[in-house]
Amino acid sequence: MSSKEVPQTLTIAGSDSGGGAGMQADIKTMQENHVFATNVVVGLTAQNTLGVQMVQPTDVEMIDAQFDSLFDDFDIKAAKTGALFDQIRVSAVIKNVKKHNIHPLVVDPVMVAKGGARLLDDQGIHAIINDLLPLADIVTPNLPEAQVMYNKPIETKDDVIDAASFIQQLGAKNVIIKGGHQSGDLIEDYVLLENGDSFIMESPKYDTVRKHGTGDTLSSAIVASLAKGNSVEDAIIEGKTYIDKILQSEILVGHGHGPLSHWGAENAF
Ligand SMILES: Nc1ncnc2c1ncn2[C@@H]1O[C@H](COP(=O)(O)OP(=O)(O)OP(=O)(O)O)[C@@H](O)[C@H]1O
Ligand SMILES: Cc1ncc(CO)c(N)n1
């Protein structure tokens, strides 16, 4: 028998009963990237590829208990947040991030599901901007989320650059503004690093509705890479390489915004 230590990671997020987004996407991504995934369930969603039918946030006592259980036992090397639902849950998560000194922390500021359902209320948005971003090693807003944080429209490439630097000044060390909502044939994710360096990760825009959970998947692949000891820059590039690869092999599941094939092109079928 052989035994092996593996890096342990944590997703602090909402559950997607449909299995394509939220912590299910996170855990699948972490598994496929060869790290061990643990989770704090911040809320439940009754959800499928067509939309979100019901949301139920977790009691704070239960959120606290999950954090305590994990940090009494596991050696968490990197963590992420996903859907946090409201200000009460955001505050509970912040309290635990501080208590357990959780870092590196990737904050995916999930606000709205692909079908349009809100996964974070207005006070929750303020709590993330004011209190969670200063604890974030990396924040990964999509374009609509970046606009909410920037509080201005983002229309040009210069707007993206200005928004990233504004969001960095809110406290997040490194910023990725994801380009999945861009029009045109190309997608550009803009990265601003802590040292002021910036770069664009470009890919073709795949014409598909089967991309439920792309944001969760990108941030979790970054967490997996960080947990293995890679630098922030390398982890971001590795995360983008993973999402780009799996977007190229579709699986036919559900009747709406279908999930990704997390096991990746070369292993599928
Ligand atoms: N159609 C597409 N073609 C190529 N890459 C894409 C496409 N859509 C998203 N991506 C990539 O997926 C990652 C996530 O971007 P996106 O802007 O979709 O995040 P998101 O809106 O937070 O996703 P979700 O809400 O589904 O979790 C980025 O790296 C982005 O470039
Ligand atoms: C629970 C949950 N988290 C995140 C997203 C965004 O992908 C979603 N649709 N559902």
Residue 3 lies in a domain: no
Residue 1 lies in a domain: no
Q: Who lines ligand 2 at CB under 6 A?
A: 13-16, 21-22, 45, 47, 82-83, 110, 113, 119, 213, 215-216
Yes or no: say if 200 and 226 are a contact pair by the CB < 8 Å rule: no
Taken as a whole, the chain contains a residue count of 269
Instruction: Give me the residues paired with residue 51 across strands.
Output: 48
Yes or no: say if 86 and 124 are a contact pair by the CB < 8 Å rule: yes
Residue 2 lies in a domain: no
Instruction: Give the HSE-up count for residue 127: Cα atoms under 13 Å, Cβ half-sphere.
Output: 19
Here the tokens at position 261 are 């094939």
Residue 269 lies in a domain: no
Task: Using alpha carbons, list the distances in angstroms from residue 178 to 10, 101, 193, 227.
Answer: 22, 27, 14, 22
Range of the domain at 143: 8-264
pLDDT score for 264: 75
- The CA 205 to ligand 1 mean position distance, Å, reads 9
Count the domains in the chain.
1
Residue 88 lies in a domain: yes
Here the tokens at position 73 are 């036992």
Using one digit for the tens of pLDDT, what is the confidence trace for 204-260?
999 888 889 999 999 999 999 999 999 999 999 999 999 999 999 889 999 999 999
Q: Is 96 helix (H, G, I), strand (E, B) or coil?
A: helix
Tell me the whole-structure pTM to 2 decimals. 0.97
Residue 68 lies in a domain: yes
- The CA 22 to ligand 2 mean position distance, Å, reads 4
Contacts of residue 237, defined as CB under 8 A and 6 or more positions apart, other chains included, come to 201
- The terminus-to-terminus CA distance of the chain in angstroms comes to 29
Residue 138 lies in a domain: yes
Looking at residue 134, which CATH number applies to its domain? Answer: 3.40.1190.20
Q: In whole angstroms, what is the distance from residue 240 CA to residue 250 CA?
A: 17
Q: In whole angstroms, what is the distance from residue 66 CA to residue 53 CA?
A: 25
- The CA 180 to ligand 1 mean position distance, Å, reads 4
Q: Who lines ligand 1 at CB under 6 A?
A: 21, 114, 142, 178-181, 187, 189, 203, 205-206, 211-216, 218, 240, 243, 247
Mean pLDDT of the region 187-203? 97
pLDDT score for 209: 86
ipTM: 0.98
Residue 45 lies in a domain: yes
The angle at the Cα of 14, spanning 13 to 15, to the nearest 5 degrees, equals 125
Mean pLDDT of the region 25-50? 97
Block residue for tokens 């009494």: 72
